[in-house]
Structure 1
Amino acid sequence: MISDIDKEVLILFGKHLKSLRLAKKLTYRKMALRCNIDYGDIQKIESGKVNITILTLRELAKALELAPNSLLDFDGFNLSDSR
């Protein structure tokens, strides 16, 4: 079972991913085409419902034209931020 802290990390990661996607002006579908991940799965990741693998992290970073480690830098986000 996933802990509350782990759930929070997934939600914060999802918020960060969404902000990066929107900054690049990418829809879910455009993002999905760039990284070969179903757009529904991207929605689940952004809402914190999915714990992704390193390979998925790499694909998401590639789609955003960023280094994978930049997707993990979400310290500036908190749960009270709007989604």
Structure 2
Amino acid sequence: MKYFRDDQFVKKFGKRLREIRKAKNITQEELVYRTGFELSQIGRIERGTVNTSISHVAAIAKALNVPPSELFMFD
């Protein structure tokens, strides 16, 4: 099976994550504390340079106190 990655989707997800995080006045450092992820990982997710896992999406949503679907509300 060939690996599939939709770069545009990954970038849109990262942009949406950053929008929500900033709207809630949460720094990347605070998100690191809440998720246990590395700061560099949060940065890569927000820049759309890494195709994150569904488990990471769940942890991020919980840390931001939003349903996971909120992170996917983009065009």
After TM superposition, the score normalised by the length of structure 1 is 0.81
Aligned residues: 73
Alignment partner, residue 43 of structure 1: 43
What are structure 2's unaligned runs of at least 5 residues? Answer: none
- Write out aligned runs for 1:5-16 (5 A): 6-16=6-16
User: Do structure 1's residue 72 and structure 2's residue 49 form an aligned pair?
Assistant: no
Question: How many angstroms apart in 2 are the aligned matches of 1:49 and 1:40?
Answer: 11
Greater fraction helix: 2
- Give the C-alpha shift of residue 70 in structure 1: 1.0
The answer for unaligned runs of 5 or more in structure 1 is: 76-83
Query: Whole-Å Cα distance in 2 between the matches of residues 67 and 38 of structure 1?
Result: 22
Aligned CA-pair RMSD:
1.3
Cα shift readout 1:20-51 (whole Å, capped 9, x = no counterpart): 00001111110111111111100000000010
Normalising by structure 2, report the TM-score.
Answer: 0.89
Residues 15-26 of structure 1 correspond to what in structure 2 (within 5 A)?
A: 15-26=15-26
Q: Which runs of 4+ in 1 moved over 6 A?
A: none
